Amino acid sequence: MAANIVWFEIPADNIERARKFYGALFGWKIKQFPGMADYWHIDTGGGDDTPDGGLMARKQPEQAITNYINVKSLTQSMAKLKKLGGKICMPRTAVPQMGYFAICQDTEKNTFALWEKNEKAK
């Protein structure tokens, strides 16, 4: 299994301004995610092998774009990350019926997420 980017999240101070910007720049379709008042789905228009993403209100001033990287085992990848000097910022979290993620930081203080697909997640 390749460790590919499978999702990304863009934080924004002004959601409508960000929607207009990315829609005009890339032709992305950005619509509110069903059942989530503060989260919008970004349809990049690519095939199944092209990641889509989410647009959300910025939660902290330094919050940057987060890329979600597919891994075979979240537990094993988190252990390896720690051994290599990385940090777990948000522990294993379920996305019901989709999978699990953990927000991490590399040795250069860049934030990213590990993603394990699991349709039995709850």
Q: Residues 7-16: pLDDT tens digits?
A: 999 999 999 9
User: What is the pLDDT at residue 48?
Assistant: 80
Q: 42 and 10 in contact (C-beta within 8 Å)?
A: yes
Q: Which residue has the higher pLDDT, 2 or 91?
A: 91
Pairing of strands 52-57, 39-43: antiparallel
Residue 2 pLDDT > 80, yes or no? no
CATH topology of domain 1-65: 2,3-Dihydroxybiphenyl 1,2-Dioxygenase; domain 1 (3.10.180)
User: What is the pLDDT at residue 4?
Assistant: 93
At a CB cut-off of 8 Å and minimum separation 6, what does 32 contact? 39, 40, 41
**What is the distance in angstroms between the CA of the first residue and the CA of the last residue of the chain?**
23
Q: 83 and 59 in contact (C-beta within 8 Å)?
A: no
Which CATH number does the domain 71-122 belong to among 3.10.180.10, 3.30.565.10, 1.10.357.10, 3.40.309.10? 3.10.180.10
Number of Cβ within 10 Å of residue 8's Cβ equals 18
Looking at every residue in the chain, the average pLDDT score rounds to 95
Quick one: pLDDT band at residue 49, thresholds 50, 70, 90? confident
